[in-house]
């Protein structure tokens, strides 16, 4: 994992090692070890980190420079769901109203 990316993402999202460790279910010390390059997270931990920080696992691992997480149905918010539903119905005007008006 690219420790500098983890550090940057934690700063941008205002996450401390303590808060991030609580979210993903590891010790505060373990997060510090990843940040210091003393150890690498397991694949499960990388997946948990990517979900917590809303980025792709590939971005954390340095395999991609695009931090955008993969699109999944289970992580859409209500607005995104409404836009996609309108588009699926073929109602582009409704989708645009949602986009413009929020």
Q: Dump pLDDT digits (tens) for 26-41.
A: 999 999 999 999 999 9
How confident is residue 69, by pLDDT bands cut at 50, 70 and 90?
Answer: confident
Tokens of 64: 């991609």
Class of domain 3-61: mainly alpha
pTM equals 0.70
Buried b (16+ CB within 10 A) or exposed e, 53-82: bebbbbbbbeeeeebebeeeeeeeeeeeeb
Domain boundaries, the chain: 3-61, 71-102
Neighbours of 12 (CB within 10 A): 10
């Amino acid at each position: 994992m690219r420790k500098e990316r983890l550090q940057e993402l934690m700063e941008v999202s205002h996450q401390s090692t303590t808060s991030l460790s609580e979210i993903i279910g590891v010790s505060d010390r373990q997060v510090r070890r990843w940040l210091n390059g003393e150890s690498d997270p397991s694949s499960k931990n990388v997946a948990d980190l990517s979900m917590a920080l809303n980025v792709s696992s590939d971005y954390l691992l340095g395999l991609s420079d695009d931090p955008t997480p993969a699109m999944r149905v289970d992580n859409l918010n209500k607005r995104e769901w409404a836009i996609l539903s309108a588009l699926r119905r073929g109602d582009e005007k409704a989708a645009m109203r949602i986009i413009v008006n929020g």
